Structure 1
Amino acid sequence: MKTRGTALNPHNRFQPIATDRDQDDGWYQAPEDTLCPDSIATEVVDEQVRTIISRNQSPDIPFEQSVNPYRGCEHACIYCFARPSHAYWDLSPGLDFETRLIAKPNAARKLREAFDHPGYRVTPIALGMNTDAYQPIERERRITRSLLEVMVQYRHPVSIITKGALILRDLDLLSELARDQLCTVAVSLTTLDNDLKRRMEPRTAAPATRLRVIERLVAAGIPVSILIAPVIPFINDHEIERILEAAQQAGATRAGWIMLRLPLELDTLFQDWLRRHFPDRAEHVMNRIRDLRGGRSYDATFGQRMTGTGPYADLIRQRFRARARKLGLNVGRGPGLRTDRFRRPGGEQMALW
């Protein structure tokens, strides 16, 4: 499936009935117009949401609030931990996640309503955590930009993680927020190999483009970090040092890493991708992943799910820390976001926590 992460579209875990097709015995000849296409267009439907802010209670995630302008993600990263969330909308975490998207056109209005509520407590908002806020459809829909305009109006702190170069369109808003210590950006930099990028995350910006994005953001006064997420055994783990060096040269000052996670339907999707693209090492990769997860493909235990356990996890941690320290990354405390700048336009400034 051209420019897509997977061609599979498995039933989601909430569907009580599944259908399957027997192996073709050669008797049935399908008309040419019913054959499976080699590409498929993106469909977008609108959802008028009741609320826009999601609250997080997971102890190993460093934010309390997040906003997602879209459901599903056209970037099509095969490893995306958010794929199983598409099942809540009776859609497949496979090809549906990449091609059947849900946009939230009233997101900015709902964000204003939340900020205007008398009981609202200001904590930084992570923008686009479940799916990338700067995926391709944002170019036309501009929902992310409308949310940032609200952040600027209310002087609200925001952090962003993205693989998309479209973030440079909003440099004016991001730099205005950054001047008041209200904005940080993390660029997800998973590989420097263009071929691997095309296979693993087909509709994201190229590695060299992401490095230029870091340079432009830093030049605009915006604090930038990078995430090597996910680290995949025997696929991109050998690149850790090179990625850190390239990011530091581009101007990033902090870095983090996350081990591959395979919750729910993602396990089947990722293993199929492995067999298609790396058949010579697929079983080797999965054996190492199971070693990290106590013999299973995934362990959701807080404090372990992001890194795994055992000798390999320790080795990755040591390699990452050693090179980051040598490059001067993660020195001292990161640029904390301020909450005391918050204001409600046209009204009295709220009491601050």
Structure 2
Amino acid sequence: MTPKSPGVGLEARSDELYGFRLNRYTRGIRKVTFQHTAQDFWSIYWRSTCALERRRSQLLAFLAEGKSNQEALTLTRYSYQGADKIIDAYHAGGLASLNDQRHHNRGAPTLLSDAQLLLLARTILDTALGGVWNGPRIQAWVKQELGQDVHLSRCYEFLDAVGYSRQIPRPRHVEADPIAQEEFKKVLPEAVRATHTRAEGTGRAVEVWCMDEHRLGLKPIVGKMWAERGKAPTVAVEHRYAWLYVYAFVCPQTGESQYWLVPSVDTLAFQAVLDRFARDTGAGQRREIVLVLDGAGWHCGPQLTCPEGLHPVFLPPYSPELQPAERLWALTDMPLRNCHFPALDALTERLAAQCRWLEG
């Protein structure tokens, strides 16, 4: 018996398959009973910001203008079945059916009630429990306290439901005084208003600047970096203890900043930097500057003479979160991360280039 040719069988099945498709699709789409004009559909098309609504209204606009079914489907890239669904929805709901109805889906009900979510939020805020509240820990808590088995992915939905997001906390000294910090938020605006009063009629601009120091040296700064997947990156390190200090001034309102690289922090060095800052900014001549800085001994010692036009306002103790200049250090440290310097001079050279770039 001669075996049947595989090619003949395949062609026969293909012919039948494509013949079925042709019989199914050449029938045309459903006839539309229009309750609106083509202009109504085009108005939705041009006004809507929903891509799905625009495409549906475009299809009906073409059909309302008298274009053939094939032409309308070719222009909008809809299939026959897709067009039939849009037409059925239009007959049932009118123009409102053209919008993306998925926006109205309420989704599955939450597994935890409002009271249970509130209990979870209070438990997470209870620092006495300690540790990090991640998905597996919440999953175990829900099982133990509420007697429910939930998938790990739902635990992150619980966090989102109570308004929590994953954040890195800023360290806060135990001796920080919240009352003094709140008082400072009142003192600073009063100092600015008083400076405006003194500068009235002089033509001098009143600005708020912030100042802080930052220590850098040969002790390596190791941070995150891009690396090829599957390979753990390494950096050369050599722990040595030679330092320099960055004295930084910044005006948060304008972004203007100035930097000095100084070998130490003391009254003499700060006096020299303060005098140069006042001269370069025109303090006392073109500007009256309210200077926000911490209460370090070399900032407010009796040997320090504050230049004319500078009006210091001191932060409460242990309050770096109130100092905008603290945000500069991520920028100054950027070219030093994951780098090894043979000597302090090499680090100083690269740091100076970064500071010049930041000054613009």
Which structure has the greater CA radius of gyration? Answer: 2
Structure with greater helix percent: 2
Establish whether TM, by shorter chain, passes 0.5: no
Q: Compute the TM-score of the two structures, normalised by the length of structure 2.
A: 0.21
Q: Compute the TM-score of the two structures, normalised by the length of structure 1.
A: 0.21
Of structures 1 and 2, the one scoring higher in RCO (CA 8 A, sep 6+) is 1
